[in-house]
Amino acid sequence: MNYEQLFEQIVKKKSFLCIGLDTDIKKIPQHLLKMKDPQFEFNKQIVDTTHHLAIAYKPNLAFYESEGSKGWASFEKTVKYIKENYPEIFVIADAKRGDIGNTSGLYARAFFENLPCDALTVAPYMGKDSVSPFLGYEGKWVILLALTSNEGAQDFQHFDNEEGIRLFEKIFAISQKWAGKDRMMYVVGATRANELTDIRKIVPNHFLLVPGVGAQGGSLEEVAKYGMNDSCGLIVNSSREIIYAGKGEDFAQVSRNVAIEKYQQPMEALLIQHGLL
Amino acid sequence: MNYEQLFEQIVKKKSFLCIGLDTDIKKIPQHLLKMKDPQFEFNKQIVDTTHHLAIAYKPNLAFYESEGSKGWASFEKTVKYIKENYPEIFVIADAKRGDIGNTSGLYARAFFENLPCDALTVAPYMGKDSVSPFLGYEGKWVILLALTSNEGAQDFQHFDNEEGIRLFEKIFAISQKWAGKDRMMYVVGATRANELTDIRKIVPNHFLLVPGVGAQGGSLEEVAKYGMNDSCGLIVNSSREIIYAGKGEDFAQVSRNVAIEKYQQPMEALLIQHGLL
């Protein structure tokens, strides 16, 4: 999927919502546990009821790996199900991978060749040759960790040099030489919305994947105020607040209602406010 | 496994070798492809012929994920096989994971609870709360990426502040507050052996996992010269040079010979030279 197609989806759906499929076997409704593949069944129902409200889904690999190879199979099944039934949806494997060049190439094989993922989150610490292998796929994206939404982001991401340039700013600056706005996005936590003004000076046109709205305390309005550009330029993720909203057999309908009220409708208003609808 | 037990193994085996199980289905001997689980079969034969020469094995997850859930099952089988048959062996899952706190907790569940891995490589970029969940397990270790062996290590790891402190040095300094030498190790690439003197000033006692000897050009002698401490303090990894040494049905014997001649024997000499045997 390319940059323009992504923006088209945003306009069509009046939404820039990504739903995080952080599907913890210990948190999903009890009645699903009787089924053969509870993680997949949960995801399928969430996707079937919310696909018209979201432009992207983001399964986080930790939740699947915690169930071992069985969980990996549920992840594979989820990705394939989404792309087969809703090919316009942007599927992000939130895996935060990154290794020396030839090894990153194998991760690329896993997510971009063997599976139809559209994007992969990648950790920047090991530098260019750890990221490049993911950039060689037409229509596939690297989403580089830049400024994350957790407390620990303070530990190293704000480390600054004598000119006051912080590590995360350095990462924006350097990585732009590796690929343009059609292959690269960045993770910027919503809990850092006040940093978005500075970030937009360095990457005015790139899409930003923004976690941390909702359960982690970030504000959708602030993110849009400081981060939205002419192509929206934002994919805002919500996980727990949406997917665990309901506990009963109607859990997916409850999730849909939360997705509409707390995300799609406010997003539509923000897109109108910014002249994009 | 604790710090003392690790050193005991080194003395007993006269070796500080870790063999990297970077088992690429496209590179293993042809005759194995007829078997039900070629990746596991390859690993089993390598481990069975080399376990007396190595103190650790390090399967890199990329090579298993590139085969999807089937590959993950081969990884699981490999880890369980090693710990069941050779419980004294230190098993490192080279996964370079790291996520926000509750999510890292799920990775910890995957590698430390559901599987008997002794250690996990972890990426430092997201800071303390992304690393802490792995530190709560008695006898289990975090191996934090500090200075990697690849070219891209130059991009960010050497970023320095106004006092000239580089990012990787900051990571050594800060992360020491999170856990001591009995729970934490660091990855330091052998291609950076000249940095080891500076690193040993910050972390004199911690074990260092050193990749990059052999195929990547690092020198075992230099690593020992600048990095060895009173408890050896080094686990030197070699992957491709050992595991892909042979191509035929006798591949594991060829690997064993390379492991002896290029690693175990020189390591024994270095341990003697440093007064540890």
pLDDT in tens, B258-267: 999 999 999 9
Residues of B in contact with A67 (CB under 8 A): 110, 114
- Number of other CB atoms surrounding residue B152 within 10 Å: 21
Nearest to A161 among B127, B145, B160 (CB): B160
Residue with tokens 């323009």: A4
Q: What is the pLDDT of residue A194?
A: 80
B254 touching A (Cβ < 8 Å): no
Q: How would DSSP label each residue in B159-195? A: -B-TT--BHHHHHHHHHTTT--TTTEEEEE-GGGGGG
Check pLDDT > 80 for residue B215: no
User: pLDDT by residue (tens digit) across A38-61?
Assistant: 999 999 999 999 999 999 999 999
Question: How many whole angstroms separate alpha carbon A264 and alpha carbon B82?
Answer: 50
A175: closest CA of chain B, how far (Å): 9
Residue with tokens 């260019």: A128
B110 touching A (Cβ < 8 Å): yes
A110: closest CA of chain B, how far (Å): 4
Asked if B16 contacts B54 with a C-beta cutoff of 8 angstroms, the reply is no
Residue with tokens 């000249």: B194
Asked if A123 contacts A97 with a C-beta cutoff of 8 angstroms, the reply is yes
Question: How many whole angstroms separate alpha carbon A147 and alpha carbon A229?
Answer: 18
- Number of other CB atoms surrounding residue A112 within 10 Å: 21
| Chain B residue closest in CA terms to A170 | B156
User: pLDDT by residue (tens digit) across B14-27?
Assistant: 999 999 999 999 99
Q: What is the pLDDT of residue B159?
A: 94
User: Which of these, B135, B157, B140, B139, lies nearest to B148 by C-alpha position?
Assistant: B157
pLDDT grade for B218, boundaries at 50, 70 and 90: confident
Give the CA dihedral B209, B9, B228, B239, nearest 10 degrees: -40
Q: What domain range includes position B119?
A: 3-273
Question: What's the mean per-residue pLDDT of chain A?
Answer: 96
Mean pLDDT, residues A175-203 taken together: 93
| Chain A residue closest in CA terms to B172 | A156
pLDDT grade for B4, boundaries at 50, 70 and 90: very high
Q: What is the pLDDT of residue A21?
A: 98
Cβ contact B123–A65 (<8 Å) = no
A253 touching B (Cβ < 8 Å): no
Q: What is the rounded radius of gyration, in angstroms, for the C-alpha atoms of chain B?
A: 18
Residues of B in contact with A68 (CB under 8 A): 72-73, 76, 110, 114-115
Residues of A in contact with B128 (CB under 8 A): 151-152, 155
Question: How many whole angstroms separate alpha carbon B215 and alpha carbon A226?
Answer: 47
A187 touching B (Cβ < 8 Å): no
| Chain A residue closest in CA terms to B162 | A162
User: pLDDT by residue (tens digit) across B37-53?
Assistant: 999 999 999 999 999 99
User: pLDDT by residue (tens digit) across A77-108?
Assistant: 999 999 999 999 999 999 999 999 999 999 99
Check residues A132 and A218 and name the one with the higher pLDDT.
Answer: A132
**Catalytic site residue A96?**
yes
Tokens representing B73 are 């099952």
Cβ contact A103–B148 (<8 Å) = no
Question: How many whole angstroms separate alpha carbon A80 and alpha carbon A75?
Answer: 9
Residues of A in contact with B156 (CB under 8 A): 124-125, 127, 167, 170-171, 174
User: Which of these, B95, B148, B102, lies nearest to B122 by C-alpha position?
Assistant: B95
Asked if A124 contacts A116 with a C-beta cutoff of 8 angstroms, the reply is no
Query: Domain of B45: which CATH number?
Result: 3.20.20.70
pLDDT grade for B169, boundaries at 50, 70 and 90: very high
| Chain B residue closest in CA terms to A160 | B161
Cβ contact B97–A24 (<8 Å) = no
Mean pLDDT, residues A112-134 taken together: 98
Helix (H, G, I), strand (E, B) or coil at A23: coil
Cβ contact A126–B149 (<8 Å) = no
Q: What percent of chain A has pLDDT over 90?
A: 95
Nearest to A159 among B106, B148, B161 (CB): B161
Q: Total structural domains in chain B?
A: 1
Residues of A in contact with B157 (CB under 8 A): 125-127
User: Hey, which residues 68-97 in chain A have their CB within 8 Å of chain B?
Assistant: 68-70, 72-73, 75-76, 96-97
User: pLDDT by residue (tens digit) across B188-206?
Assistant: 998 878 889 999 999 999 9
Q: What is the ipTM of this complex?
A: 0.96
User: pLDDT by residue (tens digit) across A193-224?
Assistant: 888 999 999 999 999 999 988 777 789 999 99
| Chain A residue closest in CA terms to B132 | A152
User: pLDDT by residue (tens digit) across A229-262?
Assistant: 999 999 999 999 999 999 999 999 999 999 999 9
DSSP letter, residue A213: B
Which residues of B are catalytically annotated?
96
A165: closest CA of chain B, how far (Å): 9
pLDDT grade for B212, boundaries at 50, 70 and 90: confident
Question: How many whole angstroms separate alpha carbon A201 and alpha carbon A186?
Answer: 14
Cβ contact A68–B72 (<8 Å) = yes
| C-alpha distances out from residue B96 to A114, A124, B38, B122, B145, Å | 21, 12, 24, 4, 8
Burial of A163 (0-12, 13-18, 19+ CB in 10 A): exposed
H helices of chain A, where?
3-13, 38-50, 61-65, 68-85, 101-108, 128-131, 153-156, 167-175, 196-202, 220-227, 240-243, 251-258, 265-273
DSSP letter, residue B119: E
Query: CB neighbours of B120 closer than 8 A, spacing ≥ 6?
Result: B92, B93, B95, B97, B107, B108, B111, B112, B134, B140, B141, B142, B143
Lowest pLDDT segment from A78-92, B101-115, B214-228: B214-228
Q: What is the pLDDT of residue A193?
A: 80
Q: What is the pLDDT of residue B194?
A: 80
Lowest pLDDT segment from A29-33, A126-130, A158-162, A210-214: A210-214
Residues of A in contact with B37 (CB under 8 A): none
Query: What are residue B236's DSSP bridge partners?
Result: B17, B210
Nearest to B76 among A68, A75, A115 (CB): A68
Residues of B in contact with A176 (CB under 8 A): none
User: pTM for the complete prediction?
Assistant: 0.97
| C-alpha distances out from residue A43 to A121, A164, B95, Å | 20, 44, 25
Q: What is the pLDDT of residue A218?
A: 84
